[in-house]
């Protein structure tokens, strides 16, 4: 069978994620499957994009034979109508899933289980091996599944529980079959778990497409799924969470799997037709579970006396037997079954985690996928780091000290070195020299720290061989996420509690700060590694400490190739560790040369609009997604392009950049929040070949401001060098008429962007740029994509909406086609590295435009500055004239009254000072009146700079003080000269 599917080579050399995720011709073609060897790839392509239709697998030849020939419908031949189709050649979806799991490595299995869980498909719990009789507990495969739900206890407070499903203590209810059964167990299970408004095929069953074809390798497969409540008693089927297991095949043939379920389940529901069968099986096994018998009263082999005999032996009562009588339809039967399961769930004391099931598996000789040496070594290395973490904030200070306050200070000094905003009246060269000294001192301070114990463990672990290193990073990421989840959950509860008491403002502020800084992920360890490396570069080349760290960039480059993301922009410090990033990219170039051509796709959007989810669905990757921990900064990830598709895209790799959400509420209170967003947006748009602008609903206003600043920054930069393409994605828009209805809005958006571009071009004296499309490639007709909501129904039990998956697939095809057209502009990795350096340095030089919300605000500010400069000049000119006259009067003072004494001179000077003060006051008032009048104007978008009114009023007062000091000094100097003469 594996041979038919073209998978026999992968039984030994397993399928890897890089193979599955690579971009190839099949990625963007909608060709139907013509032979069995294409089925696994079709299934994987669909599943990696979380498409709930991925299990509908059939070759076109089989589909044709299943349908009647068009000529046959034109004549009457009833025997032809009732003739059965041979289903033995058609592949059962369960066989395909089993085959793919058997041929995949642990990381692919984990990804498959995660995506299947998002589609609300059951996932393999015990996977049969087609060569031997043994099976494997798929614990590692399920490790990455995280679920959120709301039990009744938290319904009122609107709280929720979020945890890894393998660590959640749940009752397990198992469904098995003894002998043949006329009831479809899996179909009944689907009805049991489905809401009356929305039926969903969690388990593959007989009446599904290809579900009736005989199973060849999936008998003995035990699947698991979970029912999780949302906290609404009108919608929840079970008020408490529960795990549901389903064993495929007859328990008489799969006693090991049945024994496992007997010892781990709270209850087992045995479906049967013939009560006279081997029911001794049920008594033989040391069952800790309650037994329930489920049968069909009107089946031919049913015998009430035999059932009574069995029930007596098993000490069962009426409540343990569920029979479908003649008068009972499916809905009533499911209702009855549901009531029994609900009773079991609510009264069960037997709850265990999937992790605890390992002991049972080992006792029964069942293999566990986590028992491999690489996985265990990776786990031990990760545990060594995790064991030391008690308080996250303290841990970061002690074990990751280089990325804290020192790195933030370094960032601000570096930016000041470029922008010179605080130079004042100092000598510029001296000021720059002082700043360079400060940088040296800060680097010295970084070097004064020895590499911490945690970082030594981390560097050693990622230096281990391929698979072991990948397992370590995966374990570390999952365990750190678990810690952060517990910490954040506690802080959120505390925050909620303190908010009820309004006087605790300081405490609330402190909890808020902790919420912002208590997340700890793998990226923090890589960030520290980058800082250790950058600090070492300030040491002499011969220094042993520096030489010992020279291998770090190569390690990181290898991880990039393995599919791990690299932090490009540190979101906490708003800076790029340039030397680190550029050296990693140089090493990457050495590893892949000469195949080093890349194209870059970036996603940009407001916080929590689903950017990471969009990228994960589009490319099957795994950027961190969580409502608790939003992406900070920017991360880049490498995806291979297959050999056959390189000519089309004219590149060897695609670089995907995921960015933090703009306009985050966390940063909104800070003075430099515009600056942070505008810098990040300018950098990532400047780096990309295509930028996906992600927008919630149809409203693009929130992104409009940022786009204007990006364009404005591009105009201020001498030469950007390329013209990035722009693709707007409107999320949560499911109306089929959206594209047509929003035509006017799209035209209006383009007009507004054009107006802003013209304003910016005018300010920058580059008036050849008449429109937005002169700076960025954008077509209002093809450059917009409308994507429906992610979930089909009410989470946590909602599967991913097939409309979401299909719309994202269309977007992916469109992006790849656009990249194919502009493929000739693709850079190699070294050019990309140089581009990052020059672009970031240009961004650091820019100190004016980034501090504004948009170009119109900048334009209005410039106009105000121009007006203010005119008034200031008039003020200074008038006072200069007045001082000149006063000096003449002082020099004439002695000649007019030669007999005057010194005291008269002082009196005269005081009189002049008094005159000067009244003149200064008059002009100060004039300027303040002018300022007030200016803000009453209606033209020139004056209202946009209302916030700067106070700043300019203060400038007037400062100017008056400055001129006053100057005038008084000049009067005194003139008096001194006259007195000495």
Tens digits of residue pLDDT in 878-911? 888 888 888 888 887 766 554 444 457 778 888 8
The enclosing H or E element of 729 equals: strand 725-731
Alpha helices in 629-737 (DSSP H): 643-649, 665-668, 673-687, 701-716
The enclosing H or E element of 974 equals: helix 949-980
pLDDT digits (tens, 9 = 90+) for 27-63: 777 777 778 888 888 899 889 989 999 888 777 655 5
Q: Percent of the chain beyond pLDDT 70? A: 85
pLDDT digits (tens, 9 = 90+) for 402-439: 888 888 888 888 888 887 777 777 777 888 888 888 98
> What's the mean pLDDT when you consider all of the chain?
82
Tokens of 253: 């043939």
On the question of pLDDT at 365 being above 70, the answer is yes
Judged by DSSP in three states, 928 sits in helix
Mean pLDDT of 799-824: 85
For residues 160 and 152, what is the distance between their CA atoms, to the nearest angstrom? Answer: 10
Judging by beta carbons within 10 Å of its beta carbon (0-12, 13-18, 19+), is residue 954 exposed, middle or buried? exposed
For residues 376 and 378, what is the distance between their CA atoms, to the nearest angstrom? Answer: 5
pLDDT digits (tens, 9 = 90+) for 817-840: 888 877 555 578 988 888 888 888
Quick one: which of 660, 615, 659 has its CA closest to 639?
615
Judged by DSSP in three states, 307 sits in helix
Task: State how far the alpha carbon of 637 is from the alpha carbons of 161, 561, 567, 634, 980, in Å.
Answer: 31, 9, 9, 10, 78
Alpha-carbon 693 to chain mean position: 15
On the question of pLDDT at 235 being above 90, the answer is no
Residue 203, C-beta contacts closer than 8 angstroms, at least 6 positions apart: 122, 186, 187, 189, 190, 223, 225, 246
| Least-confidence region, from 352-361, 422-431, 636-645, 871-880 | 422-431
Residue 489, C-beta contacts closer than 8 angstroms, at least 6 positions apart: 162
Residue 331, C-beta contacts closer than 8 angstroms, at least 6 positions apart: 191
| 8 A C-beta contact, residue 626 and residue 801 | no
pLDDT digits (tens, 9 = 90+) for 129-141: 877 678 999 999 9
Q: Bigger pLDDT: 951 or 619?
A: 619
Place of tokens 């933030």: 408
For residues 821 and 813, what is the distance between their CA atoms, to the nearest angstrom? Answer: 12
| Least-confidence region, from 67-76, 168-177, 535-544, 704-713 | 67-76
Mean pLDDT of 516-529: 85
| Strand boundaries in 565-647, DSSP class E | 566-569, 597-605, 634-640
Cis peptide before 769 (omega within 30 of 0): no
pLDDT digits (tens, 9 = 90+) for 272-301: 887 766 677 776 666 778 889 898 877 777
On the question of pLDDT at 477 being above 70, the answer is yes
Which letter does DSSP use for residue 205 in this model?
Answer: -
State the pLDDT confidence band at 628, using cuts at 50, 70 and 90.
Answer: very low
The enclosing H or E element of 324 equals: strand 321-324
Residue 659 has, within 13 A of its CA and on its CB side, a CA count of 28
On the question of pLDDT at 640 being above 80, the answer is yes
Ramachandran angles phi, psi of 661, nearest 5°:
-65, 135
**What's the pLDDT score for residue 781?**
77
For residues 527 and 517, what is the distance between their CA atoms, to the nearest angstrom? Answer: 15
Tokens of 247: 């064993």
Place of tokens 């408490």: 240
Ramachandran angles phi, psi of 340, nearest 5°:
-70, -45
Quick one: which of 319, 329, 312, 310 has its CA closest to 290?
319
Mean pLDDT of 759-773: 74
Task: State how far the alpha carbon of 463 is from the alpha carbons of 52, 378, 399, 503, 531, in Å.
Answer: 39, 12, 19, 52, 18
Mean pLDDT of 374-388: 92
For residues 643 and 625, what is the distance between their CA atoms, to the nearest angstrom? Answer: 31
Q: Bigger pLDDT: 218 or 717?
A: 218
**What's the pLDDT score for residue 895?**
64
Tokens of 199: 């039926």
Mean pLDDT of 265-276: 86
Quick one: which of 527, 488, 534, 528 has its CA closest to 511?
488
What are the residues facing 173 on neighbouring strands?
244, 267
On the question of pLDDT at 689 being above 90, the answer is no
* Biggest distance spanned by C-alpha atoms of the chain: 144
**What's the pLDDT score for residue 898?**
43
Alpha helices in 897-948 (DSSP H): 902-936
**What's the pLDDT score for residue 670?**
47
pLDDT digits (tens, 9 = 90+) for 840-852: 887 777 655 655 5
pLDDT digits (tens, 9 = 90+) for 908-935: 888 888 888 888 888 888 888 888 888 7
Residue 900, C-beta contacts closer than 8 angstroms, at least 6 positions apart: 893, 894
**What's the pLDDT score for residue 919?**
87
| 8 A C-beta contact, residue 634 and residue 660 | yes
On the question of pLDDT at 609 being above 80, the answer is no
Mean pLDDT of 236-241: 90
Tokens of 282: 């049920």
On the question of pLDDT at 965 being above 50, the answer is yes
| 8 A C-beta contact, residue 27 and residue 18 | no
């Amino acid at each position: 069978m594996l041979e038919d599917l073209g998978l026999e080579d992968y039984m030994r050399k397993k399928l890897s994620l890089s193979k599955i995720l690579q971009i190839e011709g099949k990625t963007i073609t909608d060709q139907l499957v013509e032979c069995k060897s294409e089925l696994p790839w079709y299934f994987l392509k669909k599943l990696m994009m979380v498409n709930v239709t991925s299990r509908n697998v059939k070759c076109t030849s089989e589909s044709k034979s299943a349908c009647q020939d068009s000529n046959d419908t034109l004549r009457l031949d009833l025997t032809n109508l009732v003739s059965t189709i041979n289903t033995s050649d058609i592949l059962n979806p369960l066989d395909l899933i089993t085959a793919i799991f058997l041929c995949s490595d642990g990381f692919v299995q984990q990804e498959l289980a995660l995506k299947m869980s998002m589609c609300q498909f059951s996932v393999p719990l015990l996977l049969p091996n087609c060569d031997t009789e043994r099976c494997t507990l798929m614990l590692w495969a399920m490790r990455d599944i995280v679920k959120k739900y709301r039990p009744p206890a938290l319904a009122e407070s609107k709280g929720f529980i979020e945890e890894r499903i393998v660590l959640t203590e749940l009752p397990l209810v198992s469904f098995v079959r003894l002998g043949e059964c006329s009831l479809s167990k899996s179909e009944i299970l689907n009805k049991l778990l489905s809401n009356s408004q929305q039926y969903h095929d969690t388990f593959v069953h007989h009446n599904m497409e290809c579900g009736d074809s005989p199973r060849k390798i999936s008998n003995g497969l035990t699947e698991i799924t979970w029912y999780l409540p949302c906290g609404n008693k009108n919608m929840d089927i079970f008020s408490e969470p529960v795990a549901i297991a389903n064993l495929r095949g007859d328990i008489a043939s799969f006693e090991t799997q049945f024994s496992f379920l007997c010892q781990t389940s709270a209850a087992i529901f045995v479906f049967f037709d013939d009560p006279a069968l081997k029911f001794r099986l049920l008594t033989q096994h040391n069952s800790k579970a309650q037994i329930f018998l489920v049968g069909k009263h009107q089946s031919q082999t049913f015998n009430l006396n035999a059932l009574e005999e069995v029930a007596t032996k098993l000490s069962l009562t009426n409540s343990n037997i569920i029979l479908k009588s003649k008068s009972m339809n499916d809905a009533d039967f499911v209702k009855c079954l549901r009531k029994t399961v609900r009773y079991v769930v609510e009264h069960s004391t037997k709850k265990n985690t999937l992790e605890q099931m390992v002991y049972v598996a080992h006792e029964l000789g069942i293999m566990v996928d986590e028992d491999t040496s690489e996985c265990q070594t990776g786990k031990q290395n990760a545990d060594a780091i995790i064991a030391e973490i008690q308080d996250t904030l303290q841990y970061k200070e002690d074990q990751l000290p280089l990325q804290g306050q020192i790195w933030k200070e370094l960032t601000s000094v570096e930016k000041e070195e470029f922008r010179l905003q605080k130079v004042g009246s100092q000598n510029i060269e001296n000021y720059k020299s002082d700043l360079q000294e400060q940088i040296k001192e800060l680097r010295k301070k970084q070097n004064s720290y020895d590499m911490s114990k945690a970082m030594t463990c981390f560097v050693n672990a990622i230096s281990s061989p391929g698979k072991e290193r990948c397992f370590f990073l995966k374990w570390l990421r999952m365990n750190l996420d678990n810690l952060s989840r517990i910490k954040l959950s506690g802080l959120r509860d505390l925050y909620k509690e303190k908010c009820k008491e309004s006087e605790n403002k300081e405490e609330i502020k402190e909890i808020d700060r902790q919420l912002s800084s208590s997340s700890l992920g793998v990226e923090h360890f890589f960030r520290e590694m980058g800082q250790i490396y950058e600090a070492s570069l300030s040491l002499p080349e011969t220094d042993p400490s520096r030489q010992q760290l020279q291998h770090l960039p190569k390690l990181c480059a290898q991880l990039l190739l393995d599919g791990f993301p690299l932090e490009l922009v540190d979101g906490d410090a708003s800076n790029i560790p340039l030397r680190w990033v550029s050296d990693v990219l140089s090493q990457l170039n050495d590893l892949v040369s000469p195949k080093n051509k890349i194209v870059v796709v970036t996603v940009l959007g407001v916080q929590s609009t689903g950017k990471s989810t969009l990228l994960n669905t589009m490319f099957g990757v795994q950027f961190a997604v969580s409502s608790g921990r939003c992406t900070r900064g920017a991360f880049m990830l490498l995806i291979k392009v297959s050999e056959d598709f390189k000519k089309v895209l004219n590149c060897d790799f695609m670089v995907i950049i995921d960015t933090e959400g703009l306009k985050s509420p966390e940063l909104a209170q800070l003075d430099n929040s515009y600056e942070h967003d505008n810098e990040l947006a300018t950098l990532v748009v400047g780096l990309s070949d295509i930028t996906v602008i992600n927008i919630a609903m149809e409203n693009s206003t929130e992104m409009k401001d940022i786009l204007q600043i990006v364009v404005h920054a591009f105009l201020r930069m001498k030469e950007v060098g390329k013209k990035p393409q722009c693709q707007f994605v409107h999320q949560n828009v499911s109306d089929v008429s959206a594209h047509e209805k929003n035509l006017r809005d799209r035209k209006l958006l383009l007009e507004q962007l054009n107006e802003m571009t013209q304003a910016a071009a005018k300010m920058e004296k580059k008036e050849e740029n008449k429109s937005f499309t002169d700076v960025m490639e954008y077509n209002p007709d093809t450059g917009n994509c409308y994507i429906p909501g992610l979930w089909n129904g009410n989470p946590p039990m909602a599967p991913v909406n097939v409309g979401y998956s299909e719309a994202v697939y269309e977007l992916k095809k469109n992006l790849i086609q656009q990249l194919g057209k502009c493929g000739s502009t693709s850079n190699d990795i070294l050019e990309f590295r140089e581009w990052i350096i020059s672009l970031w340095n240009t961004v650091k030089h820019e100190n004016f435009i980034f501090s504004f919300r948009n170009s119109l605000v900048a334009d209005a500010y410039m106009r105000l500055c121009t007006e203010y400069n005119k008034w200031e000049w008039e003020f200074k000119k008038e006072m200069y004239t007045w001082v000149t006259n006063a000096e003449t009067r002082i020099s004439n003072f002695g000649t007019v009254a030669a007999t005057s004494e010194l005291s008269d001179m002082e009196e005269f000077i005081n009189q002049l000072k008094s005159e000067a003060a009244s003149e200064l006051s008059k002009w100060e008032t004039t300027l303040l009146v002018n300022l007030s009048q200016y803000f009453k104007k209606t033209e020139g978008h004056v209202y946009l700079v209302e916030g700067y009114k106070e700043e300019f009023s203060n400038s007037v007062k400062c100017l008056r003080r400055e001129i006053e000091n100057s005038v008084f000094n000049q009067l005194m100097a003139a008096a001194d000269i006259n007195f000495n003469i």
